[in-house]
């Protein structure tokens, strides 16, 4: 007999539980705004902000870094380069926040590039042609990689700058969004179904 009473109470509780959400649904729907009533949120990308002024590097150093960034990571195969990703402006901020050792490497490297360009070609590094700039940066970049930094300050700088320019470019919004479009096109083209004949 006790089981029959327990079964009745269970069935009553089950019926009541299913009726409660149905009764509460009109009240919840009345209080929630519909998707048409929601106000749109506007977003502003940092990449689309105004032009920046150098905060750490001098104008000359930033011009040298800009030219070097363009040489190390130019746009290719439809992918944006370092200048498209505004890497020199980012590195200006990044190096300013870095430890003193990194700042010293950048200062010495940019100064060495500038001085060698003036000595060899009689103009600043920022104004060198691709072939002239290659004569300055190719030999230090050809030094085999070791765990310790190269003794030559220019080689040590170029090693760090190359890594930083590549990482900053590949992690920039403009590069990532371009990569996403390229990958989705590749993915969709590889999933094409051919008809069976």
Domain annotation covers residue 71: yes
Quick: pLDDT tens for 53-94: 667 899 999 999 999 999 999 998 889 999 999 999 999 999
Domain annotation covers residue 106: yes
Domain annotation covers residue 12: no
Quick: pLDDT tens for 27-41: 655 555 555 666 666
Structural domain count of the chain? 1
Domain annotation covers residue 94: yes
Average pLDDT over residues 108-129: 94
> What is the 8-class DSSP label of residue 95?
H
Q: What is the pTM of this model?
A: 0.65
Q: Distance between CA atoms of 23 and 39, rounded to whole angstroms? A: 29
Reported as a pLDDT band with limits 50, 70 and 90, residue 188 is very low
Tell me what pLDDT residue 68 has: 95
Tokens standing for 166?
């590549």
Domain range enclosing 154: 50-186
Domain annotation covers residue 65: yes
Tell me what pLDDT residue 191 has: 46
Domain annotation covers residue 126: yes
The answer to whether 85 and 48 are in contact (CB under 8 A) is no
Domain annotation covers residue 13: no
């Amino acid at each position: 007999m006790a089981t029959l009473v327990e079964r009745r109470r269970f069935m009553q509780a089950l019926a009541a539980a299913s009726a409660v959400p149905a009764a509460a649904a009109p009240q919840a729907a009345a209080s929630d705004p519909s998707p048409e009533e929601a106000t749109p949120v506007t977003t502003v990308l940092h990449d689309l902000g105004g032009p920046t002024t150098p905060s750490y590097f001098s104008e000359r150093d930033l011009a040298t870094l800009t030219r070097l960034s363009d040489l190390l990571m130019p746009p290719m195969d439809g992918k944006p380069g370092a200048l498209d990703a505004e890497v020199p402006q980012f590195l200006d901020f990044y190096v300013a926040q870095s430890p003193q050792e990194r700042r010293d490497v950048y200062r010495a490297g940019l100064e060495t590039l500038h001085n060698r360009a003036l000595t060899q070609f009689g103009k600043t590094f920022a104004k060198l042609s691709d072939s002239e700039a290659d004569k300055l940066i190719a030999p230090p970049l050809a030094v085999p990689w070791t765990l310790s930094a190269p003794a030559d300050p220019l080689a040590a700088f170029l090693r760090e700058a190359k890594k930083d320019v590549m990482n900053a470019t590949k992690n920039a919004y403009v590069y990532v969004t371009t990569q996403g479009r390229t990958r989705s096109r590749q993915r969709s083209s590889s999933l094409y179904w051919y008809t069976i004949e």
